[in-house]
Structure 1
Amino acid sequence: MTQAPAAGTPDAAEDPRYEAAIFPVFLLQTLAQVAASRGIEPQTLCRGLGFHAEDLDDPAFRVSYRQASLMIRRALQLVPGDGLGLAVGNRNVLGTLGLLGHAVSLCPTLGDAFDIGMRYQVVAGGITQSSVRLSGNEVWVEAGFRFPDVEIQVFAVEELFASLLVYGRSLVGKDFTPLRVELAYPAPAYAAQYGSLFGCPLRFGAEQNRCAIEARWLMHELPNHNPLALKQVLALLETEHTQVRQKLDLAATVERAIERALRRGPSLEHIAGELNMSSRTLRRRLGEQGLSFETLLNNVRRTRVMSLLMNPELPVERVAEQSGYADVRSFRRAFKRWTGVSPSEFRQ
């Protein structure tokens, strides 16, 4: 029996990237370990998804986003206890990142490790799309999403920021601690776990998911730096990255351009101009990948809308404005088309 996509999830018929087997299974392997420690057989999480628990031990094995998201959704339903994303992230080690983990450990400074991590994050199997932004004496690590999959966004954010803490302490020592963490969703019942894990001020109901660290950490020299070994590992990473990017590059570039212009209601002509090509060329090149500009615009808008709606204090009018809609009425129509319910019903 075919499982229909849940509210806020991407439609495989609209976006062929949803079915592309490009995601390494490192995250799913850790998820299976956490599930096993809580009494759930890993095979139960994999059943019917097109792979077996044993496949998660193969570093060369790849799954699609659809498969990964369904396994995570199933774990959230079956695995007892709260804060599953925190538990998975906290269980990670640098080796969980595979070849990328080896590369960041060989970097000269933590700042270089961040650069490498962001550049090659797609080969590590994460379901978020992170970015790093320097602001004065602070560095913000911001969590974005590859697809507007609201059901697993909390899990994804928890896993990302808990992992960031683990990786940072593995590289520079136990004193590595965030300045503060902001989450774009209400405080869950297990919010105390966040405080115990991160040991810094927390803000729920923020406008976006992000974590601040002191900029001075970027200059911290790493003990295992080896220029020759790093060069060799980066060559291998680049080969793997190129293979993935060939499937994702154009779509990701267009989506980034749409994100930058989202509040202005970007058009095909505007985005094509940003990318130094004609609108006809852009439409043709997207068509060659089975995509359309309208699909990508909808994906970006849905991702932004779902993230903003997780903040219960943000008015619907503000959500519409920040998502590039000319008026609230057109926003409500689009949202009802995506989910079958109104924005206020969705929040409830």
Structure 2
Amino acid sequence: MENPAPDTRLPGLSRAATPIAFIEAIIAGYRRYGADPANALARAGISPALLGHPEARVTASQMEIMSGAAMQELDDEALGWFSRRLPWGSYGMLCRASITSPDLGVALKRWCRHHHLLTNDIELHLAVTGDEARFTLTPDRDLGELREFCLVTLLRYVLGYACWAIDSRIPLQETRFPFPPPPHAETYPLLFPGPVHFNADAAGFSFDARYLTLPIRRDEAALRTMLQRALPLTVLQYRRDRLLVEGVRHFLRSPDKQGATAERVAEHLHVSVRTLHRQLKEEGSSLQQIKDDTRRDHAIALLDRSRKSVKQISALVGFANEKSFTRAFRTWTGLPPQAWRERNHAPHPAPEGIPLAKRST
């Protein structure tokens, strides 16, 4: 199986972008168990002098070491969030329970159901409304000072696992948190690319429901490898998006967007222009090719289903004049627009032996 393809720039493992507040939340877990975090801090190379300074940051590598050490020393993968420990290996068990699912939708439903067997302190729920999938976390107890870290981490666990399982980036339509913007709010778009909203009713994120139909692309061997170092999946972003081409087509399908620049398309999909062009090339396509295909399909639909003139249609699909539209349409279909319309709307021949004038209407 292929290895994950995380973009180490968002944020990089060596870039100090993780807020010290997350380290302080782990230390709060140590306090709950009456344990000393000194060893974990030393192993991660985090100076105690950074604590208490909201502007301080650590690297993702330091966060990985600190979290792993704390989970093993406390024997609690939830790091004190819940009313009972989640022993070392609990989330690995959730991964194993989901990896045999036929598609991502089934895998996430299993994840929600099995997480409830680990703890009743928080509800995980997946809902689909139309073309939107919404994953929500609802605490059933007061998580206190650990609430932010718990909700952020659980959402990243689920998102990271989901992307890894289908070997694809899952663009988020929005992410919501039920608390005011923290001092380190600028970190959130690095963890949850796309619009992030605070003071929401519940924690969760939404995405295109079509990702739920993508098959699971990992097996047990790939899972064992991933679990040896799973935390980067909760920090790093996937480059590959298996539905990117369709996402571009969907965006350009609206007539007012068919002439959109690469910058506008990339902004809508929450990727850089460079990433947009690279991923389209990897899928054997290009933005111009998708634009041409979309305009062609729109033009054909208007020719076949409307009485608009060729001049009107050329303007509706984004051409400056009828001549350039006719030239492009001939390139796409082999026929000029009027010939296409006449061919597809020509009267059907009368059955042999029955004069055309006597055909029933």
By the TM > 0.5 criterion, same fold? no
Which structure shows the higher helix fraction?
1
Shorter-chain TM-score range: 0.3 to 0.5
| TM-score (ref. length: structure 2) | 0.38
Pick the structure with greater CA Rg: 2
